[in-house]
């Protein structure tokens, strides 16, 4: 049998101690004008200071665009792209979480007036890469530094939509654990569980294949065995660095495979109630894994064998699978991520609307090994309502 796989990822990845200092080598003499995307929260932490100094030392002109809101709508993303276009930059640096990186990635293919973000909602492949980009994630994380995706809110549909275009894949990535060292615990926890979802969903997706599994399993191993320490101990730099690598690998797994019903049913929660992406995924993780279990038991057992340190290999497949789901649930509980929509005042009358919006995310629902009917989606949402 002949099988063809396509592995798409950034060409150049710099990771580890003092990785950030390598910025000086990336922005060589060809670069004339840089736009540095970030947001106000990150600016306030001082995380942009070192990169700024390096750019200034290199004598390269730059502008900082920092008005990016968390989880932007496509209108908000377009206004950032419009600011970017005025600068006529020939290099993009994004320092931030998924929100910042997603806007930067859209800018890299929308530098001329030919297309708008709105056009890409209908036909994501229209635009081609115009400006090279470097992603420096400050959360671990969305894996947006690895993927061809940019996720924007679509208020008219009460949904978030993923624009997927390989032209948006970053050219350079810097993974430096200093960027996530002082992440506030609630953000570290929610973004970490997002990465965890990417790994386990991609591994249990209908699109999973040997290439994506290599990245998904390594990501799962790194994330499950480091997430609690990384989120709760500010000094745990090794755990944080492993989380950053794990979330990057999980991003590569998304590109080669795809997320499933956790992310699909999560999009309306972000789109309508603006629940943070990682939090809405965390809420749905256990209910969806329990729903999927009949179809993915063997896979969960294989994941157990790979990631549970000192696990009992003589357990049955059903026992290993149950243990994996318990561990996933435990992570969400220990990290104190809200698991009920009541926390966000979602009224029970909204249930049917949620189901209708969730069922629209066919791009990801088709990846789910067990078919999700509207009745199933309703039961899953009811568990967290």
Ligand X SMILES: NC(=O)c1ccc[n+]([C@@H]2O[C@H](COP(=O)([O-])OP(=O)(O)OC[C@H]3O[C@@H](n4cnc5c(N)ncnc54)[C@H](O)[C@@H]3O)[C@@H](O)[C@H]2O)c1
Q: Which does 41 bind (CB under 5 to 8 A by kind): Zn ion, ligand X, none?
A: ligand X
CB 58 within 8 A of CB 6: no
Select 194 or 376, whichever has its Cβ closest to Zn ion. 194
Q: Which does 160 bind (CB under 5 to 8 A by kind): ligand X, Zn ion, none?
A: ligand X
Q: Does 10 bind ligand X (CB under 6 A)?
A: no
Select 47 or 223, whichever has its Cβ closest to ligand X. 47
In the block, residue with structure tokens 């970053």: 170
Q: Does 271 bind ligand X (CB under 6 A)?
A: no
Q: Which of 149, 212, 280, 321 binds ligand X (CB under 6 A)?
A: 149
Q: Does 194 bind Zn ion (CB under 5 A)?
A: yes
Q: Which of 10, 124, 143, 258 binds ligand X (CB under 6 A)?
A: 143
**Stretch of 5-13, 193-201, 219-227, 326-334 contacting Zn ion, by CB under 5 A:** 193-201
Residue 318: other Cβ atoms inside 10 A: 12
Q: Which of 106, 161, 179, 236 binds ligand X (CB under 6 A)?
A: 179
Q: Does 45 bind ligand X (CB under 6 A)?
A: yes
Q: Does 147 bind ligand X (CB under 6 A)?
A: yes
Q: Does 160 bind ligand X (CB under 6 A)?
A: yes
- In angstroms, what is the minimal distance from the CB of 140 to Zn ion? 12
Select 107 or 147, whichever has its Cβ closest to ligand X. 147
Q: Which does 89 bind (CB under 5 to 8 A by kind): ligand X, Zn ion, none?
A: none
Which residues of this protein are in contact with ligand X, per CB under 6 A?
Answer: 39, 41-42, 45, 47, 70-71, 96-100, 102, 138-139, 141-144, 147, 149-151, 160, 179-180, 182-184, 187, 191, 194, 277-278
Q: Could you list the residues that contact Zn ion (CB under 5 A)?
A: 194
């Amino acid at each position: 049998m002949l099988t063809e796989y396509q592995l798409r990822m950034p060409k150049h990845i710099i990771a580890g101690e003092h990785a950030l200092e390598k910025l000086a080598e990336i922005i060589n003499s060809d670069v004339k004008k840089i736009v540095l995307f970030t947001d106000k929260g990150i600016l306030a932490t001082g995380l942009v200071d070192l990169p700024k100094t390096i750019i200034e030392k290199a004598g390269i002109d730059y502008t900082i665009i920092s008005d990016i809101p968390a989880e932007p709508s496509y209108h908000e993303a377009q206004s950032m792209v419009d600011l970017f276009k005025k600068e006529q930059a020939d290099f993009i640096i994004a320092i931030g979480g998924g929100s910042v990186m997603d806007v930067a990635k859209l800018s890299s293919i929308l530098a001329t007036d030919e297309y708008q973000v709105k056009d890409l909602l209908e036909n994501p492949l229209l635009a081609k890469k115009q400006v090279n980009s470097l992603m420096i994630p400050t959360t671990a994380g969305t894996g947006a530094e690895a993927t061809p995706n940019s996720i924007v809110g679509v208020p008219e549909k009460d949904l978030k939509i993923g624009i997927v275009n390989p032209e948006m894949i970053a050219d350079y990535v810097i993974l430096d654990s200093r960027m996530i060292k002082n992440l506030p615990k609630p953000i570290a926890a929610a973004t970490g569980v997002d990465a965890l979802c990417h790994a386990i969903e991609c591994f249990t997706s209908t699109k999973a294949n040997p290439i994506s599994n290599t990245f998904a399993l390594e990501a799962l191993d790194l994330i499950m065995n480091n997430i609690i320490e990384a989120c709760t101990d500010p000094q745990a730099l090794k755990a944080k660095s492993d989380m950053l690598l794990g979330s990057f690998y999980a991003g590569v797994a998304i590109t080669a495979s795809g997320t499933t019903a956790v992310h699909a049913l999560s999009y309306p929660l972000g789109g309508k109630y603006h629940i943070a992406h990682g939090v809405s995924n965390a809420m749905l993780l256990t209910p969806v894994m329990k729903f999927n279990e009949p179809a993915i038991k063997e896979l969960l057992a294989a994941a157990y064998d790979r990631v549970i340190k000192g696990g009992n290999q003589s357990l049955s497949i059903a026992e290993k699978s149950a243990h994996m789901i318990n561990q996933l649930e435990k992570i969400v509980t220990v990290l104190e991520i809200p698991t009920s929509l009541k926390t966000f005042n979602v009224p029970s009358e909204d249930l049917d609307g949620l189901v209708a919006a969730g069922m629209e995310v066919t791009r990801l629902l088709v990846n789910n090994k067990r078919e999700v009917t509207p009745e199933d989606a309703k039961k899953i949402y009811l568990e967290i309502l």
